[in-house]
Amino acid sequence: MKAKLKGANGFVRFLLQHGEKVGIAAILAVAGMLIWSSLGRPVVDNTKQPEPLKMAAQKASSHVAEMSWEAFSEPDRTDSAKFIAGSGDRTAAPVNPPNYPEIKPLNPQVIAPIKLRQDPVLVTAEDLEVRPGAGLWMSSNPEAIKKNMLAAMQEAARLNQEAAEEAERMAEEAEGEGGRGRGQGRGPGGMGYGEGGRGGMGEMGGMKTKDGVLVIPPTGGAPMQGFEDILEQSWVTVLAKVPIKQQVQMYEDALATARGFNVTADLPEYIGYEVQRAEVTDEGPGEFKTIKQVIPKTVIKTMSTWPIQTPDLVNPKYIHPLLTHPLPPMVMREWGEEITHTDLPLPTPEDLMGGAELEGTPPPAKEEEGDPNDVFGSAARRQTPPGGAMAGGYGGRGGEMGRGGMPGGYGGRGGEMGRGGMPGGYGGRGGEMGRGGGYGGRGGEMGRGGMSMGGGMGPAIEELPPYAWDGLTKTILFRFIDDTVVPGHRYRYRVALALKDVNVDQPAKYLDPTVTARQTQSKKPARHRMTEWSEPSPVAVVPSPGLTFIAQTKEVGSLDPEARLIIKSVDSSHAAEIAIDNWFTRGSVLNFAQKAKIIWSTLYKIDPEKPEDSPDFKFLTGLMLVDLEGGDQLVSKNRNLTAPARALVMDSSGRLMMQNELAQAKTIKQYDFIMKQDAEAARRARETEGGERGGGPGGRGGGRGGRGGF
């Protein structure tokens, strides 16, 4: 029965009468909306079903487990080696040690704990440099050297005595004649003419061939006795620094508090090194290949073929008997700055002072026999005597004087050494008098088992002297001379040093497990350890034996300017250095065969009675003159004041090089001075034709070895 609510309003009455219907309709509407919205939902496909998802998870797990570094692409890799500091890295601002003082521990240990012996960290050579060169070397059979040794020493003593007497006589004559430096002889060699020669060059001993080519004794290089083989040689000198002080510190850190420590035996001992070379072509650098493994026997065998031992110019504190390869005897030219590293300069004349004589060391013990295939192992068995004498000092430099005056003083005596010690120093430089000074002092002496470094022929070397570190030198010089190169080719080098293993003969109970594991990797433990390979050197371009020197230019502003070049080369058949000068235009290739204008040689002989024409020589420089500049007038009021000449040349490998007249002034002045003196001598000869050439009695004319004055 419906309720009668006459007093209620219409909305209330509507709800009371139809509320159930409205609620049911609302519920149905919401349900319909839910059903409608569910119909638009995406449906899970078959790939998202449980089984496919399980298979995908297993595949991803296997991919992660099998992932390797090589599988990543190059852009996605992060190489940690790029962030590791190398030996050549430098900080922007060097650290100042006083700003970071060492803080002492609060409770320091009274006695350091004893630990097991570890392998010291090995430091390799660093900052490699390469210096290519070409020239003439001397070589001979060791038996021939021994056979001629005594005769050569006797002849040298006789010549030195004659030279000293001649110098003394010249000094007396110069005092009596007002200091005139020209040799005015009685015979046919007066006024600077050789003994019966044609148009000699005073104290240079100059003579002339039939066609007018000058032949004069050389002014530098190793002296020749006549029995040697002269070789045209190209080479590359590989230089590096060996951080000896850092290496000693590494040994102390690893062994100073270890069992069985021996203060004299647990030190770094270098027993050899290995050199690898890679040829660089247009396609890029090739593969590094070993060209030499050097041990003491290797050096001794090489030195046994040298008729003369060349004194080293490097400061003795930087020289290691094994790592610093000795200098081969070079003919006609002197070794210079190219034999040492940039950071280890040659000593100044003030450093070349006399040294004290030190006691030597006992002869080395007999070597044990080992595996012939283990090159460095045999070197490691050599017993090194403790200590070792240091090198003798250097003789002082003689006095100097101007051209045409009295000869300078004598150089001081070089250092000496005891039996088995380091090499003695070389004799001091003789005094200068233009080109005819006094005589150098006596070279360093040597005892049994040492090396004669005085510049003369010494006895056969049987053992390299031991190296004794002075405790202060930070680096020593590594030097290797590669004489197997080909002119025009390009090379890069790297080296690894071999050190004697200080743990090889120690009891197993003293060794750290890491050392034991290393030694047990092979059936027979190695007696040496190798450092890591050094960083590769810069590229070395091997030159041809010819050298060029720009002297002057003319008409640079024209379409066809010219440059006057002095070209020097070497000739092994006559053991000679030869030179010419000529004018060349742009694009000229400086390779040709023609007669020289000057021949420096002691073996090229001229018959004074029947002189012959000089032969044609090959001048091979491998260079092309690309461009030139200079020679223009700098001041309008002085026509002789011109800009220095410069030339751009290109070698056979395509490398461009700049040559400067100012940098080559010494060689140019020497050549021009000789030619000027020859022209002056020829003019005077024409003026005095038919008369006595040398004037009254006086000194002997320019003969052998440059005895006469200018």
Residues of the chain under the 50 pLDDT cut = 1, 179-203, 355-362, 364-365, 367, 384-459, 693-710
- List the one residue out of 179, 280, 216 whose CA is nearest residue 603: 216
Q: What is the pLDDT of residues 396-430, one digit of tens each?
A: 333 333 333 333 333 443 444 333 333 344 344 34
At residue 519, the 3 state secondary structure works out as helix
The pLDDT value given to residue 219: 75
Can you say how many angstroms the Cα of residue 7 is from the centroid of all Cα atoms in its chain? 124
Phi/psi at 623 (5° precision): -115, 155
How far, in Å, CA of 418 to CA of 498, rounded?
A: 28
Contacts of 501 (CB under 8 A, 6+ apart): 380, 525, 526, 527, 528, 529
- DSSP 3-state of 64: helix
- pTM for this structure? 0.62
Other CB atoms within 10 Å distance of the CB of residue 152: 19
Contact 253, 120 (CB under 8 A): yes
The two tokens of residue 34 are 């839910």
Per DSSP bridges, beta strands 214-216 and 598-600 are parallel
- C-alpha distances out from residue 612 to 210, 217, 258, 609, Å: 5, 18, 77, 10
User: 3-state class of 126 per DSSP?
Assistant: strand
Q: Which two tokens stand for residue 365?
A: 């013990």
- At 349 the three-state DSSP class reads helix
* Kind plus residue range of the DSSP H or E element containing 15: helix 10-38
CA distance linking residue 477 with residue 197, whole number of Å: 47
Q: What is the pLDDT of residue 145?
A: 66
Distance CA 594, CA 68 (A): 66
Q: Cα 143 vs. chain centroid, distance in angstroms?
A: 31
d(CA 203, CA 192): 7
Please report the pLDDT score of residue 609 as a whole number.
Answer: 78
First CA to last CA across the chain, in angstroms?
Answer: 160
Which amino acid does the sequence have at 618?
K
Backbone angles phi, psi at 330, to 5 degrees: -105, 135
Q: C-alpha distances in angstroms, 366 versus 303, 379, 382, 468? A: 21, 12, 8, 21
The token pair that represents 507 in the structure block: 């009891």
In angstroms, the CA 126 to CA 532 distance is 11
Angle at 102 between CA 101 and CA 108, to 5 degrees: 150
- In the beta sheet, which residues pair with residue 216? 600
Q: Mind listing the pLDDT tens digit for each residue in 235-287?
A: 999 999 999 999 999 999 999 888 888 888 889 999 999 999 999 988 888 99
- The CA radius of gyration of the chain, in Å to the nearest whole number, is 41
Neighbouring C-alpha atoms within 13 Å toward the C-beta of 642 = 16
Determine which helix (DSSP H) or strand (DSSP E) holds 497, and give its type and residue range.
Answer: strand 490-500
329 within 8 A of 307, measured Cβ to Cβ? yes
Which value, to the nearest 10 degrees, does the dihedral of the CA atoms of residues 681, 687, 692, 693 take? Answer: 0
